[in-house]
Structure 1
Amino acid sequence: MTNRAALRPDSLPTDLDGWRSFLHERCAGSLGEVRRLVDHLKQTPPGDPLDIIRAWNDVNLALQRAFSSAGVLSQVHPDEDIRTLAEAAEQEAQKVSTDLSLDLELFDLLSSVDVSRLDPGAARVLDHTLRDFRRAGVDQDESTRQRLRGLAEKETALGQELSKNIRDSVLSVALDPDQLRGLPADYVAEHPAGDDGSVTVTTDYPDVQPFLAFAQDAGARRKVMLAFNNRAWPDNDAILTELLSLRAEHAGLLGYDGWPSFDAEVKMIGAGSAIARFIDETTASADESGRRDVATLLERMRIDDPHVGVIDRADATYYAEVVRREQYDVDSQLVRTYFDFDKVRSGLLDVTGRLFGLQYVRAPEATSWHEDVAGYDVHLDGEMLGRIYLDLHPRAGKYKHAAQFTL
């Protein structure tokens, strides 16, 4: 059993050369370990079925180390060269993963395990492992396996490019200063007029969300919404079209009627056909209340513009705020004054600590990839479990959505 008290978090680099070495060690090094473990498993398979499962688990742990390090650094590191190296490492990890999933010798070895000698947990691991091999196409003919291998690699590269374009796309809208009417004073102060007299609002979330909620100028709201919806366009059109086409071919080669059926098979929803059914059922259930809400917003909007016929996303957030303030006496700008950043962060740690019996200890000595990142050591009953890094502020080159990564 692991002595948790002896666990210590990794020491992260402090310069670019250090990060390059870190990536090489954690990615190339881990993939080398994967190959070594697989070769050993093939050459000298354990006699105990449970030991075979454990050996396969060790392979997957080493593979996951490569994926984790590459994945997080490709999304958060402020240096573009490091992000590019991480993306290349992620592609290499995916290639190794695909090779493993199409390895007939490995599949035959795992298929030969006597399930009757396994406990229920290990039997489930084996069942899911063999299922995933088949879903990868290991039991297809050689030419099909080679095509599936090529498809998997291309899909990974296209998916990375799609995400990168969204991550790196920051559009902006030039507005007159008076078009910021209704926005909080601190927002206005953070958006001073430039030399040409205009104010710049970007498509990053900290700019867009308050603007759509509070800006009184309908034309300005529409400009910001259109810019936000045009991120990574038109570049991603061709990428998405190709990705969807490759996924359809991928699923078809494996005998599925489409990617939704293939993807949903191992998820809670169970079947591709259930996805549309779920959406239709949810839409029907919400239809009456949704129409009622839209009517309320449209009625309030017509006080400002009697000729308006419909309300869309450029106006809905703003008028939802207006209705809450006028009809329910809830003012989001007043509410936000109670949510100081430092207090919210401390509160989240306190609440999760009480829920799970954890203690978070600030680690001021913890190095990371950016000065905004705060490290906390996580303890349970006085024993260290590991370290978390809170990277909570937007910046150039960083992902633009809520996320959790394993490092």
Structure 2
Amino acid sequence: MQNPLLKSFETPYQSAPFSEIKNEHYLPAFKELIANSEKEIEAISHNPQTPNFENTIEALAYSGEHLDNVSHIFFNLNSAETNDELQQIAQEVSPLLTTFTAKIFQNQALFQRVKQVYDDKENLALNDEQKTLLEETYKGFVRNGALLGEEDKKVLEEINKNLALKSLQFGQNVLAATNAYYKHITNKEDLKGIPEAIVEQYAEEAKEKGLEGFVVTLQYPSYIPFMTYAENRALRKELALANGIKAFDGGDYDNQNLIKDIIQLRQKKAHLLGYKNFASYVLEERMAKSPDAVFSFLNELLDKAMPYGKKDVEALKTLAKKEGIETIQSYDHAYYAEKLRKEKFDLTDEELKPYFQLEKVQAAVFGLAKTLFGLDFEEIKDVQTYHPDVKTYKITENGAYKALLYADYHPRKGKRAGAWMTVFKNQFKKNRENNRPHISVVCNFSKPTQGTPSLLTFQEVTTLFHEFGHALHGVLADTQYPNLSGTSVKWDFVELPSQFLENYCYEPSFLKTFAKHYQSGEVLPNEKIEKLALSKNFMEGYQTMRQLGFGLLDMTYHTNEIGDDFEVKTFEKEAIGKTTLYPDNPKSAISTSFSHIFQGGYSAGYYSYKWAEVLDADAFQYFKERGIFDEETAKKYKILLASGGTKDPMALYIAFRGREPKVESLLKRAFGI
């Protein structure tokens, strides 16, 4: 039987042939494609011609295209539609890919060719993108051990293998621990305060498990509404504890030892490559440049935000005391914050949800992309998908094909929690052809029920805009080389496009175009739209402190030596104690399910969310000064997005804005200071 992953995809837009792919195809495909890619690398390494930009640097950038495509398919499905077999394959595939990558960077003949071109760079007539590619290629080799001795290279390869496996296991444990827990409720009175649509969802979850009554899980669309609306405080406490001990309970999915192993391996890698710590290694390739700069940035915001964070929690304490709660706990926060939101703005998520039908919100974000960037979206049925829930869209610009978009919006057992944008196929130019990207947006919004369409909380509305901002970064990509395309930018720059787009959700003139009741078609009343815009900074002090806590925890992990006596809870308390606004629960931990830094790409980089907030606040302020749909401003911003990683991000930002970003823009938006 022919392996569909080993042939050219004879499908519309060369899209992935999902319906033809079976789990048993992956491992043989990876082995063969790695072997083929190794031959490509050997041909470049032993090219008899004198090394130059085209036959070495450019050839390397274009190598392994087929392997990259299959890797995108496999690892995206391992996040969005996984199963035990796929996870087992991932355990086998990850070391193969790590070894392959290590072989490239440890190929001395190849490195000598790269170095020869790099050393001659002043004499080469290269454009900006080519200069960036040369610089990044050379640094890539050095940062992956090309200057190490043979023994140290072997040590580094082993470290990278172990890191790949342990990070993978961390994520699998979080997913398994999330899926393993559910709360079975038989008395409907225990769900008092929870909107009927959510109760209906809990009933359906129980039915799926073959149970009577109701089931609440730790999946966000189930967990968050419970914590926000349930009047039963004891049950809120129970659910919060279940969430807090996720992968921290000493059971089969416990991540505590994995955290120690991952941090120690990262530190060992940094020391081997000549860096003081792993954060220094990472930040060399970020806008921030150094751990000191990040700590300074986070602590400056901490000092400014702390009074506002305390003020937010004091307001909730006052409300809770009226109900006889003397000491408010973290598991009370969402419940009383929602009550206060209702009191201050006369708005609740549940009364807003009927105005945010998923299809209408998606149409709005598509329309915004049309207004700003001239993009059109058309749903198509001839592209295979990996699950019936997934829809596909052809994106065009002035009638010409621009990109393919996969939209995957609903939770299921095989999908990890959260929301993300990813790529199935990169954009790049080769042989006079502009290969256009295949982009995916993955979320976990409540599924439609028999009588109700999928309705979003306002936070979920902003989540969709956020991920679509990332998607636009990929869709608009217009670069020569795949490794500089789309979101392939400095990590603390990557959140600018996503967070920028969220700003439009709070603009009254734009909200009126899509915030319409799913049954009556009535537009969300002006007074509620105005309150929604005013509510943007509701609990901003608390949220800022929470994000700063995550950022400081991440940086503390990656700037310290972790010994064998390491304890997750003790370490956490020391790292983020000054950011906490509620009494600590000694039985729960953040780190053991902190997938961003232990599985994802945010290690020594979580600060970038706040860093990018400065960028997005500054950028949107520019739009507001000139008009939020201003054509000329949008054109300049489009160039920034299309440029990907071809230039230094600060240079790209200055070209767009005319100056560097100012932290005052964020403080003004958040706290009016």
Q: TM-score by structure 1 length? A: 0.90
1:247 corresponds in structure 2 to 266
User: 1:128, CA displacement in angstroms?
Assistant: 1.7
Shift in alpha-carbon separation, 1:246–1:22, aligned structure 2, 3 A: closer
Q: Name which of 190, 201, 204 aligns with 2:216.
A: 201
In the alignment, which residue of structure 1 is the partner of 2:344? 327
Query: What are the superposed Cα offsets for residues 164-192 of structure 1, whole Å, 9 maximum, x if unpaired?
Result: 11122221223442121111101112223
Query: Which residue of 128, 138, 141 corresponds with 1:133?
Result: 141
Equivalenced residues, count: 398
1:277-288 residue pairs with structure 2 within 5 A?
A: 277-288=296-307
5+ long unaligned stretches in structure 2: 1-10, 425-673
Change (3 A) 1:110 1:16: closer
Q: 2: CA distance between counterparts of 1:204 and 1:14?
A: 27
* Residue matched to 2:430: none
Judge conservation of contact 2:173–2:255 (CA < 8 Å) in 1. Answer: yes
Residues 172, 227 of structure 1: 8 Å contact kept? no
Deviation of 1:300 after TM superposition, in Å, equals 0.5
Q: CA deviation at 1:204?
A: 0.6
Aligned-partner residue type, residue 317 of structure 2: L
Establish whether residue 56 from structure 1 lines up as the match of residue 64 from structure 2: no
Please name the residue that 1:342 is paired with.
359
- Whole-angstrom distance in 1 between the partners of 2:365 and 2:134: 38
Task: Kindly indicate whether the alpha-carbon contact (under 8 Å) linking 1:151 and 1:246 is maintained by their aligned counterparts in 2.
Answer: yes
- C-alpha displacement of 1:269: 1.7
Deviation at 1:230, TM superposition (A): 2.1
Task: Give yes or no for contact 1:137–1:254 (8 Å, CA) kept in 2.
Answer: yes
CA displacement at 1:391 relative to structure 2 = 1.0
The correspondence for 1:225, drawn from 218, 236, 240, is 240
1:154 and 2:162 equivalent?
A: yes
Determine helix, strand or coil for the equivalent of 1:112.
helix
2:124 matched to 1:117? yes
Give the C-alpha shift of residue 147 in structure 1: 0.4
1:174 to 178, 184, 188: 184
1:272 deviates by: 2.2
- Is the alpha carbon distance of 1:197 and 1:364 closer, same or farther for their aligned partners in structure 2, counting shifts above 3 Å? closer
Deviation string 1:124-151 (CA, Å, 9 cap, x unpaired) is: 2112211121111111111111101100
Question: Hey, what's the Cα distance between the residues in 1 that align with 2:383 and 2:91?
Answer: 25
1:28-55: CA deviation from partner (whole Å, max 9, x where unpaired)? 4542332122111122155472312210
Q: Aligned residues: percent identity?
A: 21
1:8 alignment partner, SS class: helix
Residues of 1 paired with 2:67 and 2:300: CA distance?
A: 40
Distance 2:21 2:84 in 1: 11
Amino acid at match of 2:368: V
The question of whether the paired residues in 2 share the 8 Å contact of 1:9 and 1:387 is answered with no
Confirm or deny that 1:33 pairs with 2:36: yes
Tell me which moved more, 33-42 or 87-96: 87-96
Q: Distance in 2 between matches of 1:81 and 1:197?
A: 31
Per-residue deviation at 1:197?
6.6
How far off its partner does 1:87 sit? 4.9
Distance in structure 2 (CA, Å) of the matches to 1:349 and 1:122: 33
Write out aligned runs for 1:264-279 (5 A). Answer: 264-279=283-298
Shift >6 Å, 4+ stretches: 193-197
Take 2:299 and 2:73, find their aligned partners in 1: how far apart are those partners?
Answer: 39
**C-alpha distance in 2, partners of 1:355/1:23?**
43
> Structure 1 regions of 5+ residues with no counterpart?
1-5
Determine the structure 2 residue equivalent to 1:389.
406
In the TM superposition, 1:282-321 aligns within 5 A as 282-306=301-325, 308-309=326-327, 311-321=328-338
Contact 2:19 2:386 in 1 (8 A): yes
Relative distance call for 1:298 and 1:394 in structure 2 (3 A) is same
In proportion to residue count, which structure has more helix? 1
**Which region of structure 1 is more displaced relative to structure 2, 288-297 or 163-172?**
163-172
Moved more, 45-54 or 334-343: 45-54
SS in 1 for 2:19: coil
Over the aligned positions, Cα root-mean-square deviation in angstroms equals 2.4
Residue 227 of structure 1 deviates from its aligned partner by 1.0
Cα offset for 1:94?
Answer: 2.4
Shift, 1:16, TM fit: 5.3
Question: Alignment partner of 2:420: what SS?
Answer: coil
Verify the 8 A CA contact 2:51 2:114 in the aligned structure 1. Answer: no
1:388 partner SS: strand
> In the alignment, what sits opposite 1:186?
197
2:383 to 337, 349, 366: 366
Distance in 1 between residues matched to 2:379 and 2:73, nearest whole Å: 22
**Aligned-partner Cα distance in 2 for 1:388–1:22:** 23
Greater shift after overlay, 378-387 or 187-196?
A: 187-196
Q: Aligned partners of 2:80, 2:354: CA distance in 1, in Å?
A: 29
User: Structure 1 counterpart of 2:100, which letter?
Assistant: V
The residue number in structure 2 matching 1:405 is: 422
- Asked if 1 retains the 8 angstrom alpha-carbon contact of 2:270 and 2:277, the reply is yes
Shift of 1:60: 5.7
Q: CA deviation at 1:110?
A: 0.4
